[in-house]
Amino acid sequence: MSILTALPLSPAAQAGSEGLESREYKVGLDPAALPGDSDAAILAVEERLSQVTKLEFGQPKQMQVQFFDTQECALTRASMLLRSREKPGKTPRITLKIRNTDMLAVKTMPIGLSRTGETAFQDDYGIGPTGKPSSDFSKSFSFDDTPPKTLSELAQSIHNLHEIVPFQGNSVLQAGPRVAQTAYASEPLPMSAKRKIRLEATLWYPADGGKPLAGDVSFTLEAPFDYGELRAADKLLLDLAKQLGPLKGSSAEKALAVIPESCR
């Protein structure tokens, strides 16, 4: 994921985005249109996007990804995702993410970490079926541990979880498929006269091999935000989507393809 340092907002713009730490710009990839091999897939993406900006992706970074929910899809119904990311030889990184198009609903939800970890407040700004980008605000709570087996176990790390997701003590978490994630990042690229970004392409495949499951192209702006840069970022996102052509997917949300099957 890339970072772009932004200029300060005007007072009015600051008031509208108070507390928002970053905005991730994303356009999805159509797994059915990608070559089966990740090396061939990234070359196809690189070739397309090089017509927008000079581009060469670096060496890939890999990890295992898996999502969890109850049989009743309690987390999905509450607009939450529970994810485990595991790098080779490392303790898994567990993340509970709340998502809502209403910024205030996300910001004011009365839950938080009850252990050492990280909290982030972000705008997941992606292109959907309409072809236009839109905001999906998220607050995420991350900590290092093995994946919880029940919602009760998760609640030991997330206080007040029961206020958002009512559950019984035996609410067992089921796992979605294990996913092999390969992420490629570019060198810094000019977005404006003063600012540079890194584009990242992420590909998801079944952990035991097979055809692509999902993918996206993204870049990130960190707060504070600047109006001119936001306009330039919007234009870049739309240009990337247009240039991807048949490789562009209908959704920028990869998780929809790999959450437990009963919750899709």
Residue by residue, DSSP assigns 227-239 as: HHHHHHHHHHHHH
Mean pLDDT of 184-211: 90
pTM for the full predicted model: 0.90
Let me know: does 204 contact 213? Beta carbons within 8 Å: yes
Class of the domain covering 11-263: mainly beta
Whether residue 69 has pLDDT greater than 50: yes
Whether residue 100 has pLDDT greater than 60: yes
Give residue 17's pLDDT. Answer: 58
Mean pLDDT of the chain: 90
pLDDT tens digits for range 18-66:
689 999 999 999 999 999 889 999 999 999 998 888 888 999 999 999 9
Mean pLDDT of 106-132: 95
Instruction: Determine the residue type at 18.
Output: E
Give residue 5's pLDDT. Answer: 36
Domain boundaries, given as residue ranges, for the chain: 11-263
Let me know: does 225 contact 10? Beta carbons within 8 Å: no
pLDDT classification of 225: cutoffs 50, 70, 90:
confident
Let me know: does 147 contact 66? Beta carbons within 8 Å: yes
Give residue 55's pLDDT. Answer: 83
Q: Coil, strand or helix: which one is 138?
A: strand
The residue among 130, 82, 121 whose CA lies nearest residue 103 is 121
